[in-house]
Amino acid sequence: MEKETLKNIFNFLDEKENKPHRYKGTLKWKLIFNEPLTKDELTVDGDLTLSNTTITSLPEGLRVIGDLDLTGTAITSLPKGLRVIGSLYLRGSTVRSLPEGLFVWGNLNLSDCKEITSLPAGLKVELNLYIRGTPLQKYDDDELLDMVKPSDDINGYIEGKIDRSW
């Protein structure tokens, strides 16, 4: 079903039956239906779980103070300036690449992301990087760390371990 059709059904139920959808007006609703966000809504204080939704993109400048779960989504790229003060779960998603300068305070789980073939310059991961089932498994740890080395003034690092088993 088309997103617009689904949105129209929810709006009809809200207007005619006085039964608003429980997510109407929330950040999750706005992201799924591509509605504009305010500057304040670009900072999420808490976990943001969008796993297994039809979402295809995230807004530039998004900051999540908690975990961001995009497992099983149709997102193909992440926005520039994305900061996650928690863990970022991309397991099994269709993300093709990561933006330069991506910052993840917790773990970065790329397991089973078949399209990610390299890591961006300036990637910062405070805890562990999970790469099981990705093309990144063919590189040794030193080669992966070289990928995230500084690009001009962007200094990248992986503080925890690089885990190929999880």
- Ordered by start, the domain boundaries in the chain are 1-36, 38-163
CA dist., res. 94 & res. 115, Å (int): 7
Q: Higher pLDDT residue, 107 or 40? A: 107
pLDDT score for 144: 94
The residues facing 125 across adjacent strands are 104, 158
pLDDT in tens, 66-118: 999 999 898 999 998 899 999 999 999 999 999 988 999 999 999 999 999 99
User: What pTM value is reported for the model?
Assistant: 0.79
In the three-class reduction of DSSP (H, G, I as helix; E, B as strand; rest coil), residue 8 is classed as helix
Residues 134/113, Cβ–Cβ less than 8 Å: yes
Q: Round the average pLDDT of the chain to a whole number and report it.
A: 85
* Strand order from edge to edge, sheet including 103-104: 43-45, 63-65, 83-84, 103-104, 124-125, 157-158
pLDDT in tens, 145-159: 999 986 566 678 899
